[in-house]
Amino acid sequence: MVAPSLPGFGVSFRPGQPRLSIAEIADLFAELMSDVLGYEAFGAQGGDWGSQISSSLAVRHAERLTGVHLNLLTIPSEAIAAGDATEEECQYLEEAVNGSSHLSVESCSRVDLGASACPPEAPSQDT
């Protein structure tokens, strides 16, 4: 099992660092699994942001995946922006955003909520 930290979130967040798109993170994870760790094929699992990244992996790197497990169904924002989302998908998204405070914040802001709980400077590794 490989459980990488999402670049730019949680422990891998540095104030001011450039943010990566879901597609860019999916590409990095495909590179990590195949090129760095040497897996010819692998599975992906995700919930919350991980479900979007795992979905993107499935679309962008299907030939490398043995399967995908999602525990949060999402609608890619690209589909909505392009007008490709169905009426049912748009309704689902509206209900999800209005019914979940963290989805509301994350869909309107690129702020990492976890970063606000972290001290501005990480402790030295030498201590």
Residue 126: pLDDT above 80?
no
pLDDT of residue 110: 47
Neighbours of 47 (CB within 10 A): 13
Q: How far apart are CA 32 and CA 42, in angstroms?
A: 11
Q: Where are the domains of the chain?
A: 1-74, 75-110
Q: Is the pLDDT of residue 109 over 50?
A: no
Q: Which residues of 96-110 are buried (b: 16+ CB within 10 A; e: fewer)?
A: beeeeeebeebeeee
Which pLDDT tens digit goes with each residue over 42-76? 999 998 888 989 999 998 999 999 999 998 876 66
Compute the mean pLDDT over every residue in the chain, rounded to the nearest whole number.
77
